[in-house]
Chain A
């Protein structure tokens, strides 16, 4: 059991570090979400600000998907 856990965790860590080291495109890809999250946050905030300015709180009719 202990061996299994140690081996699996070591494998996960080793694989991630190997990919990080040998695959530059992976670095850009895996770091990208932290930027897109902020962009999205800003867009929603901007919409809120615009909605507040126009006196509307519910900005968009909900669509059930």
Chain B
């Protein structure tokens, strides 16, 4: 039996007996400072986001400066939201809530100001400047460079002293749920942050990705979520003056969230090389997380029962209510999109971007705004413009709804195109209008945030801070807690339950350890063993130049649009090549797998595109891919495309090394012949319909590989059908070919200035159907002409018809005299046959070593003018030399006539 004297000695009871003057102080100065910093950084971060979004529609916009390029702005957008906006908002809330929850002031005002300066002037501001200057870490939610990460860790250690220590000293047994989340979140993030930021620099590739995946989710799940949920659990009862529905449920939710959230991380890498057990574990945890959130949100909404009027009248509560509802929606969405059938469809698309904006704005930002508005109105002497705040709410709500709806649909459209055989650029074209809407939706959001800021510094100065007695809530709510005996919570069933702060501390440490053991360390060990077992011993490393190029690739944010992770899905394999194996990433420090595709995957870039195409693409992507939204990188060139800087050359070298190890090692052939393949397949994809079961050497799996199976595409013979094909082919040509070949097919497109060999002048030769089919199907090795076999056969046939229509009908075989032909024949045999073959079929003894291959004059029939021009000048960029200095004009003339005699009959040459 507990005596009244014992009860009186309990910390909670002592707390209740304190006079008002003895209550702990609240650091209002620090609250104001963090609120101000949060809103300043919020506006900048949203501006960065709007610039990023604008560049999808206008890729050249502010594209001339490295520090304003898409990738760096994207890094600063998310890191600004994470550290600048939400970090400061949470810190402001801690200074307000911790003294109330712990009944002790925060540990030290000086420490608080030190933390403020560290957070804003050693983390946020230098982080932004360094990223803009090109010093960053290409890992999601970890983009600030390592030197800044060190200060982040220091800040979290300081937070432990500032905010957790008061709870430890208070020794309260009745720790309110917000305090549990604050303690658990700080401890967990203090441990998880260095592991998620530093370890991928030390653990390469797929193993590092296991750690990165955890941090991606922990950043949202155990930094953003606990503190936002803590605010919701605080603001709701403080505003309604009624206890939350069930503290028991809130505790169940706390434990489930802390158990399941850390286990979610690997769901960012479903169908990857990470062991399938870890992937499926993450998926199951994601589903459980959805259930946990249902429980948490149910508790929140039941706490508001009977107070719907309050939620509409009280603006801070309305912000929190919107955030809570968004939390439910985004969590259920997250659970669903982790499921494999959904994930294979929507992963890498804008759907996920919509999901993350719903999480960071709809859930976290709305609740943070509600928390700030709530505490602001309770600080004596502050101003508040409720009308402006009301406008802020509606602008934010409307802008966000538009953005999420738009991005979700855009994601579905992208997914649909990616499932098809349409060229990648079609997915970019298909969502261009959605990207414009997304940009526009950012404007009301930015305005809403600005109005919120203005609402805190304008309007009438509050005559008195809002209190229980001045709140708008019905007075009858007061009785709900007044009658509960103050000491009931001290009657802890067992002594150890009285140390709630220790348990919360343990939750942070324990779940951190569990998640990293289960989802990072153990899978990492499995991957390490697999790599040792299957990695080719001759696997080449990156050269110094390629390594420097890799740094440029990371610095410019390339990994945020281009994955280097071909998933074990038939649609990925068909489009990009064999699935990425863990051993291919064994030298990737840090991993660059990426979690988003705006451009295509680059894992198999080796031997796909030539140097001049790559450089032209980097200088101005739209020169070679007309509707590309990739930003230009002029700072990697000295004024023109033909003069790349050393960094440009390094990046080129790196791009051309991607997939080299796989192609040179003969791994795929070995795999097909060994039992290792079965072992890996079993480990990674035991019960899934696996693309790994598809032989990775199937020709179509390699985008640049030559395929003998190229179909011969004959245009329609019916004139009406032919006309229709030519018309459609013209449209396709304008969309896909004109940037290089020119709108009239004369090989004078914008990109032609920097391509070597030049794009073919399609009006200067007649091509056979076989030749055009082969080029469209396989590309032209040694030139910038890529394979287009991903286009539907009907489209390829239409292109063949259109290219035929470009040809001027003047190509006729030679009708010269026999003497001339004989001279030409001997000249041809002496000078040309070694490459072009005795019969001009392009199959001379030297032909096999040449790329592009020598012309086969039976399949490609240049006009007389073109043939003459080639003999005079050669074909730069190919093995064809100029013959002007070696052969006289008469000899060249005889040679032209002989070559034209190889073309075939006049009927054949007129296309009949």
Cα A2 to Cα B99 in complex, Å, equals 41
Whether B284 lies near A64 (C-beta < 8 A) is no
Q: With a CB–CB cut-off of 8 A, which chain B residues contact A6?
A: 284
> A34, A49, A57: which contacts B467 (Cβ < 8 A)?
A49
Cα A65 to Cα B25 in complex, Å, equals 12
Cα A63 to Cα B470 in complex, Å, equals 30
**B99 closest partner in A (C-beta):** A44
Q: Is B672 an interface residue (CB 8 A)?
A: no
Q: With a CB–CB cut-off of 8 A, which chain A residues contact B469?
A: 45, 49
Q: With a CB–CB cut-off of 8 A, which chain B residues contact A27?
A: 248
Report B343 CB to chain A, min CB distance, Å.
16
Q: Give the contacts of B490-544 with A (CB-CB under 8 A).
A: 490-493, 497, 518
Whether B175 lies near A12 (C-beta < 8 A) is no
Cα A36 to Cα B12 in complex, Å, equals 8
Whether A32 lies near B484 (C-beta < 8 A) is yes
Report A55 CB to chain B, min CB distance, Å.
10
**B277 closest partner in A (C-beta):** A1
Cα A63 to Cα B166 in complex, Å, equals 12
Whether A29 lies near B489 (C-beta < 8 A) is yes
Query: A27-65 vs B: 1/0 string, CB under 8 Å?
Result: 111111111111111111111111111000111111111
**A48 closest partner in B (C-beta):** B465
Q: With a CB–CB cut-off of 8 A, which chain B residues contact A42?
A: 467-468
Q: With a CB–CB cut-off of 8 A, which chain B residues contact A37?
A: 100-101, 176, 178, 234, 237, 243
Q: With a CB–CB cut-off of 8 A, which chain B residues contact A18?
A: none
Report B446 CB to chain A, min CB distance, Å.
33
With contacts A36-B489, A57-B380 known, is A62 near B256, CB below 8 A? no
> A4, A33, A41, A43: which contacts B518 (Cβ < 8 A)?
A4
Q: Give the contacts of B96-127 with A (CB-CB under 8 A).
A: 99-101, 103-105, 107-110
Whether A44 lies near B25 (C-beta < 8 A) is no
> A4, A35, A58, A64: which contacts B28 (Cβ < 8 A)?
A58
Whether A65 lies near B104 (C-beta < 8 A) is yes
> A30, A43, A51, A65: which contacts B251 (Cβ < 8 A)?
A30
- Residue from the set A33, A39, A53 with the largest chain B CB neighbour count within 10 Å: A33
Report B464 CB to chain A, min CB distance, Å.
5
With contacts A5-B263, A9-B260 known, is A33 near B177, CB below 8 A? yes
Whether B238 lies near A38 (C-beta < 8 A) is yes
**B110 closest partner in A (C-beta):** A64
Whether B491 lies near A34 (C-beta < 8 A) is no
Which one of B14-22, B586-594, B891-899 is at the interface?
B14-22
> B23, B178, B490: which contacts A60 (Cβ < 8 A)?
B23
Judged by DSSP, the binding face of A is helix
Report A46 CB to chain B, min CB distance, Å.
6
Whether B380 lies near A35 (C-beta < 8 A) is no
Q: Give the contacts of B209-267 with A (CB-CB under 8 A).
A: 234, 237-238, 241-244, 246-248, 250-252, 255-256, 259-260, 263
Q: With a CB–CB cut-off of 8 A, which chain B residues contact A4?
A: 281, 518
Report A12 CB to chain B, min CB distance, Å.
6
Whether A31 lies near B105 (C-beta < 8 A) is no
Q: Is B488 an interface residue (CB 8 A)?
A: yes
Whether A5 lies near B176 (C-beta < 8 A) is no
How many residues belonging to A are interface residues under a CB distance threshold of 8 Å?
50
With contacts A23-B493, A31-B248, A62-B105 known, is A12 near B464, CB below 8 A? no
Q: Is B309 an interface residue (CB 8 A)?
A: no
Whether A62 lies near B101 (C-beta < 8 A) is no
Whether A45 lies near B378 (C-beta < 8 A) is yes
> A5, A25, A41, A53: which contacts B288 (Cβ < 8 A)?
A5
- Residue from the set B247, B260, B486 with the largest chain A CB neighbour count within 10 Å: B247
**B483 closest partner in A (C-beta):** A35
Q: Is B278 an interface residue (CB 8 A)?
A: yes
Whether A35 lies near B243 (C-beta < 8 A) is yes
Judged by DSSP, the binding face of B is helix
Cα A41 to Cα B236 in complex, Å, equals 12
Report A62 CB to chain B, min CB distance, Å.
5
Report B189 CB to chain A, min CB distance, Å.
22
- Residue from the set A23, A31, A32, A42 with the largest chain B CB neighbour count within 10 Å: A32
**A24 closest partner in B (C-beta):** B493
**B489 closest partner in A (C-beta):** A32
Query: B756-787 vs A: 1/0 string, CB under 8 Å?
Result: 00000000000000000000000000000000
Q: With a CB–CB cut-off of 8 A, which chain B residues contact A30?
A: 247-248, 251
Q: With a CB–CB cut-off of 8 A, which chain B residues contact A31?
A: 246-248
Report A56 CB to chain B, min CB distance, Å.
9
Query: B159-185 vs A: 1/0 string, CB under 8 Å?
Result: 000000110010001111110000000
Report B490 CB to chain A, min CB distance, Å.
8
**A2 closest partner in B (C-beta):** B284
Whether B497 lies near A29 (C-beta < 8 A) is yes
Q: Is B26 an interface residue (CB 8 A)?
A: yes
> A33, A39, A43, A62: which contacts B25 (Cβ < 8 A)?
A62
Q: Is B751 an interface residue (CB 8 A)?
A: no
Q: With a CB–CB cut-off of 8 A, which chain B residues contact A43?
A: 18, 20, 23
Whether A47 lies near B243 (C-beta < 8 A) is no
- Residue from the set A20, A35, A51 with the largest chain B CB neighbour count within 10 Å: A35
Whether A25 lies near B100 (C-beta < 8 A) is no
Q: With a CB–CB cut-off of 8 A, which chain A residues contact B15?
A: 36, 40
Whether B20 lies near A62 (C-beta < 8 A) is no
Whether B247 lies near A34 (C-beta < 8 A) is yes
Whether A33 lies near B176 (C-beta < 8 A) is yes
> A9, A26, A40: which contacts B103 (Cβ < 8 A)?
A40
With contacts A12-B256, A39-B481 known, is A29 near B23, CB below 8 A? no
Cα A30 to Cα B255 in complex, Å, equals 14
Cα A37 to Cα B97 in complex, Å, equals 10
Report A35 CB to chain B, min CB distance, Å.
4
Query: B320-356 vs A: 1/0 string, CB under 8 Å?
Result: 0000000000000000000000000000000000000
With contacts A28-B491, A37-B176, A52-B464 known, is A65 near B108, CB below 8 A? yes
Cα A58 to Cα B381 in complex, Å, equals 11
Query: B4-42 vs A: 1/0 string, CB under 8 Å?
Result: 000000001001101011011111100000000000000
Q: With a CB–CB cut-off of 8 A, which chain A residues contact B243?
A: 34-35, 37-38
Whether A1 lies near B481 (C-beta < 8 A) is no
Q: With a CB–CB cut-off of 8 A, which chain A residues contact B489?
A: 28-29, 32-33, 35-36
- Residue from the set B241, B248, B466 with the largest chain A CB neighbour count within 10 Å: B248
Whether B244 lies near A34 (C-beta < 8 A) is yes
Q: With a CB–CB cut-off of 8 A, which chain A residues contact B518?
A: 1, 4
Q: With a CB–CB cut-off of 8 A, which chain B residues contact A38?
A: 237-238, 241-243, 481
Q: With a CB–CB cut-off of 8 A, which chain A residues contact B176?
A: 33-34, 36-37
Whether A65 lies near B26 (C-beta < 8 A) is no
- Residue from the set A25, A31, A39 with the largest chain B CB neighbour count within 10 Å: A31
Q: Is B677 an interface residue (CB 8 A)?
A: no
Whether A46 lies near B28 (C-beta < 8 A) is no
Q: Is B155 an interface residue (CB 8 A)?
A: no
Q: With a CB–CB cut-off of 8 A, which chain B residues contact A61?
A: 25
With contacts A25-B493, A64-B107, A65-B107 known, is A16 near B247, CB below 8 A? no
Q: With a CB–CB cut-off of 8 A, which chain B residues contact A1?
A: 277-278, 280-281, 284, 518
Q: With a CB–CB cut-off of 8 A, which chain B residues contact A28?
A: 488-489, 491
**A6 closest partner in B (C-beta):** B284
Q: Is B285 an interface residue (CB 8 A)?
A: yes
Cα A38 to Cα B26 in complex, Å, equals 17
> B103, B246, B284: which contacts A5 (Cβ < 8 A)?
B284
Report B465 CB to chain A, min CB distance, Å.
5
**18 extra interface residue pairs, beta carbon distance < 8 Å, beyond A45-B466, A47-B23:** A12-B256, A16-B252, A29-B488, A30-B251, A33-B177, A36-B15, A37-B176, A37-B178, A37-B243, A40-B103, A41-B237, A41-B468, A44-B23, A45-B469, A58-B28, A60-B21, A64-B108, A65-B104
**Top 3 closest pairs, chain A to chain B, by CB:** A32-B489, A1-B281, A45-B467
14 intermolecular pairs with C-beta atoms under 8 Å apart: A1-B284, A2-B280, A2-B281, A12-B255, A36-B176, A37-B101, A37-B234, A45-B466, A45-B468, A48-B378, A57-B381, A58-B28, A59-B21, A63-B25
